[in-house]
């Protein structure tokens, strides 16, 4: 019989039954991800750099990155692959009518107790939907296939989504991708990922990825969508 136990339980289990075959399971040590010192430098809040383990703990949990003294992107580490993940937060997206309080509302949001507060954009009412953004790929893990997606939530108040929205992206190598998505079909009150594109982080894709979501041909007023940002995560 083989028993898997934690390291601190080794002595107790061996004394209780000498016939047991005891296997000690240790936690896999965390390794600093790609470009981790750049992340520490750009963190919105001060980092505890007293040890490498402390640095890794904070990176894996997720941090906000700053640009011109404002939090703009979110960073974390994928637990399985030890690869960098990023999200361009809604505040760093170019949202048409985003500054009009009759069209969009900005609310403070905390995803979980150990997360920092960010702002999400809540669509109140627009006919012309247009959301654009860019992201520099230099911090992504080399040789990794990344998935890019809008993170949105359809609210109880959502309607006017009978027409598909156009999702598009242009990669640093010049490749363009475009497709349509009926986002009104998604379950309400849950954060979902709306796929944009995927690409391999290689030398030819060092640069900026440009992406967008728009719908203005249908002529309908659209309501009730929250936008957290655009994520760049390793493909599972």
Whole-number percent of the chain with pLDDT over 70? 75
Least confident of 33-42, 142-151, 202-211: 33-42
Distance (Å) of CA 179 to CA 90, 95, 166, 191, 202 = 21, 20, 6, 21, 24
Q: How many CA atoms lie within 13 A of 70 on its CB side?
A: 8
Please say whether the beta carbons of 33 and 144 come within 8 A: no
**What secondary structure does DSSP assign to 171-217, as a single string?**
-TTS-EEEEEE-GGGSPBTSEEEEEEEEEE--GGG-SEEEEEEEE-S
Tell me, what DSSP letter sits at residue 222? B
- For 153-164, the pLDDT digits (tens) are 999 999 999 999
- For 95-148, the pLDDT digits (tens) are 999 999 999 999 999 877 666 788 999 999 999 999 999 999 988 999 999 999
Ordered structural domains, the chain, with CATH: 1-30 (no CATH), 82-234 (2.60.120.260)
């Amino acid at each position: 019989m083989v028993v898997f136990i934690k390291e601190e339980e080794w002595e107790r289990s061996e004394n209780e039954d000498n016939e047991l075959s005891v296997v000690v399971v240790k936690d896999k040590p965390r390794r600093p991800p790609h470009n981790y010192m750049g992340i520490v430098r750009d963190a919105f809040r001060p980092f505890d750099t007293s040890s490498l383990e402390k640095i890794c703990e904070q990176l894996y949990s997720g941090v906000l990155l700053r640009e011109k003294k404002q939090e703009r992107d979110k960073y974390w580490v994928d637990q399985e692959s030890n690869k960098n993940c990023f999200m361009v937060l809604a505040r760093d997206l170019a949202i048409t009518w985003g500054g009009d309080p009759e069209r969009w509302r900005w609310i403070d949001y905390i995803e979980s107790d150990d997360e920092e507060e960010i702002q999400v954009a809540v669509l109140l009412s627009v006919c012309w939907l247009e959301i654009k953004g860019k992201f520099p790929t230099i911090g992504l893990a080399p040789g990794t296939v990344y998935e890019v997606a809008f993170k949105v939530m359809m609210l109880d108040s959502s309607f006017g989504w009978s027409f598909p929205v156009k999702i598009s992206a242009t990669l640093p190598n010049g490749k363009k991708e475009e497709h349509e998505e009926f986002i009104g079909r998604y379950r309400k009150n849950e954060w979902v990922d709306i796929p944009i594109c995927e690409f391999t982080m290689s030398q030819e894709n060092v640069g900026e990825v440009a992406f967008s979501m728009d719908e203005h041909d249908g002529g309908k007023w659209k309501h009730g969508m929250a936008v957290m940002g655009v994520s760049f995560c390793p493909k599972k």
